[in-house]
């Protein structure tokens, strides 16, 4: 008897905008097994041309790492994502990074979250290639990626929810 309602239920989905102006690419290209092998979850790699990270979705900032190279954002649907700038950038201890948000803040897609110095990252860390990880969640039905050259208004991830 519930199938009637199910069929007519609007399909629930979430759209992620690009976290940067630059390019988005397959997460397997990230030179760090923790990310490329999807141990932390599925997602995309991205590279910024101007050193600004934007919120890809509306949500709450769960944490900004003390070193400002990564943050965790939670959508109202309950999807939790990690945005991590560069690889081995934790060693930079915040140098070259600036946070424009903080733990507990509500943000909208397109809001500026962090800025970072790409040339400093290239000089001091392993790479400036960055990752967006969608951490595992039972409410996810499927995930679709649209990769390539992007500006911050491009849609790059579509998640269908159960």
Partner 1 sequence: MMEKKAIVKSESGIHARPALSVVKEASKFKSEVLIVKDNNEYNAKSIVAIMCMAAIKNDELIIRTNGVDEAAAAVAMVKIIEEGLLK
The number of CA neighbours under 13 Å toward the Cβ of 59 is 25
Q: Using CB under 8 A, which residues numbered 72 to 111 contact partner 1?
A: 72, 80, 82, 84, 90-91, 93
Pairing of strands 42-48, 130-134: antiparallel
- Those residues with Cβ within 8 angstroms of residue 74's Cβ, 6 or more apart along the chain or in another chain: 59, 60, 62, 80, 81
Please report how close the Cβ of residue 65 comes to partner 1 at its closest, in angstroms.
6
The residue within the footprint of partner 1, chosen from 14, 52, 53, 70 (CB under 8 A), is 70
Q: Using CB under 8 A, which residues numbered 11 to 40 contact partner 1?
A: 34-35, 39-40
Please report how close the Cβ of residue 74 comes to partner 1 at its closest, in angstroms.
8
Residue 135 lies near partner 1 (rule: CB under 8 A): yes
| Alpha helices in 2-137, H assignment, sequence order | 3-8, 33-36, 118-124
Q: Which is nearer to partner 1, 134 or 150 (CB)?
A: 134
Is there a catalytic annotation at residue 69?
A: no
Alpha-carbon distances of 48 from 14, 18, 91, 160, rounded to whole Å: 23, 10, 20, 26
Residues near partner 1, by CB under 8 A: 34-35, 39-41, 62-63, 65-67, 70, 72, 80, 82, 84, 90-91, 93, 135
Catalytic residues: 84
């Amino acid at each position: 008897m519930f199938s009637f309602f199910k069929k007519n239920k609007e399909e629930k989905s979430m759209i992620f905008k690009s976290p940067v102006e630059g390019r988005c690419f397959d997460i397997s290209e990230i030179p760090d097994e923790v990310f490329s092998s999807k141990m932390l979850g599925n997602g995309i790699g991205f590279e910024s041309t101007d050193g600004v990270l934007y919120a890809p979705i509306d949500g709450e900032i769960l944490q900004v790492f003390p070193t400002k190279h990564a943050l965790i954002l939670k959508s109202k649907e309950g999807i939790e994502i990690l945005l991590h700038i560069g690889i081995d950038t934790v060693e930079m201890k915040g140098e070259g990074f600036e946070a424009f948000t903080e733990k507990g803040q509500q943000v909208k897609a397109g809001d500026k979250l962090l800025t970072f110095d790409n040339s400093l990252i290239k000089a001091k860390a392993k790479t400036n290639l960055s990752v967006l990880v969608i951490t595992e969640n039972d409410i996810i039905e499927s995930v679709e990626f649209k990769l390539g050259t992007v500006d911050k208004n491009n849609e790059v991830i579509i998640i269908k929810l159960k």
